[in-house]
Amino acid sequence: MKTEDYTALLDSYDNHFSLAELEIQGPGTIKRMDIGFLRSFLSWRQWHGLPTMISSAWRKGDLKSHGHGMAFDVLLFDQWLESQPSALQHWLLATTWGFNGVGLYFDWSYTNKEGNKVPAIGLHVDGWTGNSRSQRPLRWLRINGQYYYQSLASGLFSCRANQQSITLDNAIMRYAP
């Protein structure tokens, strides 16, 4: 696809993003995105209606979802650069859509309109099917740099590094900004 084709694609989804926002890793990187996943992401944004900031898309050298052009890391806002919806709303919006990978990050931040760094909930969404060793759908939380992966059997999130488990509700109560 040519640049004007991507511009027309953005137009068809109500122009919620500029080409520059989608090419956060550099000019021309939108061409590295999987077009089916990109359409799904744009549809998801149109569906939920929340202002959305992209913090990462295709990444050079990433062997997983970002490197396959099938992931976005985002911040959702109910008031642009002022406040975010709840962590639970982030989770429900991403898992209801049916992304193959959803990660909720309790240790992100952003710079607000006043120039202050503010704690934030980050959200990873992807359409990657993964490698043969990873379960999909894959759901995880990142708390203080530690990854907790959800068991599809019990629903608990467990961290291999510290051997601890947590529920989504407990993580939200303890760590959400």
Q: What gap in Å lies between CA 58 and CA 25, rounded to an integer? A: 7
Strands 157-158 and 165-166: antiparallel
What pLDDT is recorded for position 142? 98
Amino acid at the residue 96: T
pLDDT in tens, 70-119: 999 999 999 999 999 999 999 999 999 989 999 999 999 999 999 999 99
What pLDDT is recorded for position 140? 97
Q: What gap in Å lies between CA 40 and CA 149, rounded to an integer? A: 24
Q: What gap in Å lies between CA 15 and CA 82, rounded to an integer? A: 22
Please write down the long-range contacts of 167-176, taking CB distance under 8 Å and 24 or more positions apart. Answer: 168/88, 168/91, 168/141, 171/87, 171/104, 171/106, 171/141, 171/143, 172/86, 172/87, 172/88, 175/106, 175/143, 175/144, 176/86, 176/87, 176/106, 176/121
3 state SS of 38: helix
- Dihedral over Cα of 75, 131, 170, 153: its sign: positive
pLDDT in tens, 142-151: 999 999 999 9
What value does the mean pLDDT take over residues 111-137? 89
Please give the span between the terminal C-alpha atoms of the chain, in angstroms, as a whole number: 40
Token pair for 172: 């939200």
What pLDDT is recorded for position 29? 95
Residues sharing a CB contact under 8 Å with residue 171, sequence separation 6 or more, in sequence order: 87, 104, 106, 141, 143, 148, 157
**Taking the model in full, what pTM does it have?**
0.94
Domain boundaries in the chain? 32-175
What pLDDT is recorded for position 130? 80
Strands 117-126 and 146-150: unpaired
Q: How confident is the model at residue 120 (pLDDT cuts 50, 70, 90)?
A: very high
Amino acid at the residue 62: D
